[in-house]
Copies of this chain bind each other. A is one copy, B any other.
Amino acid sequence: MARTRKFDENQALDAALRLFWEKGYVATSLQDLEKGTGLNRASIYNAFGNKRSLFKKCLTLYVGRVQAMLEGVIGTATSSREAIKNWLACVIDFQFNQETPSGCLVILSALERHQHDRETREIVTALFRREQEVIQKVLEEGVQRGEFPADFDCVGVAWAITSATSGMVVLSMADLPVSALQEVFRSTMRLLDGK
């Protein structure tokens, strides 16, 4: 009864995500999006609405992936300590992975806050909260398992680790070498040793 869509919507979304990830919301023009997705301008509007809603779809997609990666890495570890170690290593790998852009769309969006509506900002806030919660939970499990002392500050350390992941991303975006991130990594891990 009707014509089918020629392009793969997920594929186009992926391409758009990559662009926003690299240049941010404002600096990514519709011209960029046309070239990146291979779609015509009107096709983009037809499929995704306007630039704002396309961005929001990309951000949601990205957040979902990061969260899946976070929970995957944390969930498959055999100890609390290993979980944190793997997560921090994962963040570093991700920054220097050649297949994906460096940086982080969520952090970028956090800093572009003036450009976005409340709903978008809440997506950003939620990811950080979620990261802290997941880490806190794995630390609490570590306490129960006897890996950490009973009075271990799970809340505070979880926030510190969450902060450290953002900090590492910023450092890598500021052209600091891997070694700097590794120093952050090692020192952050030491938060799991003390009292």
**What is A's interface to B at a CB cutoff of 8 Å?**
22-24, 26-27, 103, 106-108, 110-115, 121-122, 124-125, 128-129, 132, 153, 155-157, 159-160, 162-168, 170-171, 173-176, 180, 183-184, 186-188, 190-191, 193-195
Contact = CB atoms under 8 A, between A and B. Distances in A.
Top 7 A-B residue pairs of the complex, sorted by shortest distance between their CB atoms: A163-B167, A160-B187, A167-B167, A159-B183, A110-B174, A166-B170, A194-B194
A156 B187 contact: yes
A112 B183 contact: no
A107 B112 contact: no
Nearest to A23: B114
A41 B31 CA distance: 28
Contacts of A160: 164, 183-184, 187-188
Contacts of A114: 22-23, 27
B163 A184 contact: yes
